[in-house]
Every structure is written in structure tokens, then in C-alpha cells.
Amino acid sequence: MNLGRFTHRIEIQKNRPVVDDEANCVERWDTVAELYADITPISSREYLLADQHAAEITHKIYIRYNSIVDPRCRILHQGKVYEIDSVLPDAKQTYMTIMCREAV
């Protein structure tokens, strides 16, 4: 993989429930890592050939391997939120492919 492709700065966020002033449990997303990534939209051909579940996937994000990242996290990039569907490390655990969808 060409490291020069990792040009986008992203934030990995994890959800942490907190209790507000009125004793309500609310979601709070905390940034746990900031990394460089390559963000690639899914091509229309991949989109059409995918099965029903994978058809929701809109982007592939490539990063260096990081054990913090799992499907319970989300990615923030330039004001856009990406929900992680799956995290696919390579065999040597050098890089990861993250399949995700852009949140509305």
C-alpha cells in the first residue's frame, strides 16, 4: 500500500453514556484517536453487485492497524460522520480496511 494515499485526517470516536444534570442517560462521543487515512467511496459497480446488507456501505476507509478501532466506534471527517459496519485487518495486521456508511 502506498502511504502517500493517507492524506485525510480522521477522528475515531467511542460512545460513552453520561448522566446529565436532570439524571438522564445521554450519549457522548469522545475522540480516542486521530489518524491519517485514505477514504474511498464505493464504486457504482461494487454498489450494484453487493448483497442487500452490503448495499448500505458507502465508503471504504484505509488506515494503519489500530486495535482501538471496532464496529462500536464511529469516524468523523470534515464534519461528516461515518458509522462503521466492519473492520478488516490484513493478514500481517499492518493495515485495516473499514467498511462504513455515511450517517445522515
DSSP run (H or E) holding 96: strand 95-102
pLDDT at 51: 53
CB-count exposure of residue 44 (10 Å: 0-12, 13-18, 19+): exposed
Please report, in tens digits, the pLDDT of each residue of the chain (104 residues total): 566 789 999 999 999 988 888 888 888 999 999 999 999 998 655 555 555 545 578 899 999 999 999 999 999 999 999 999 999 999 999 999 999 999 88
At 7, which amino acid appears? T
Q: How far apart are CA 61 and CA 31, in angstroms?
A: 17
pLDDT at 49: 58
Contact 98, 83 (CB under 8 A): no
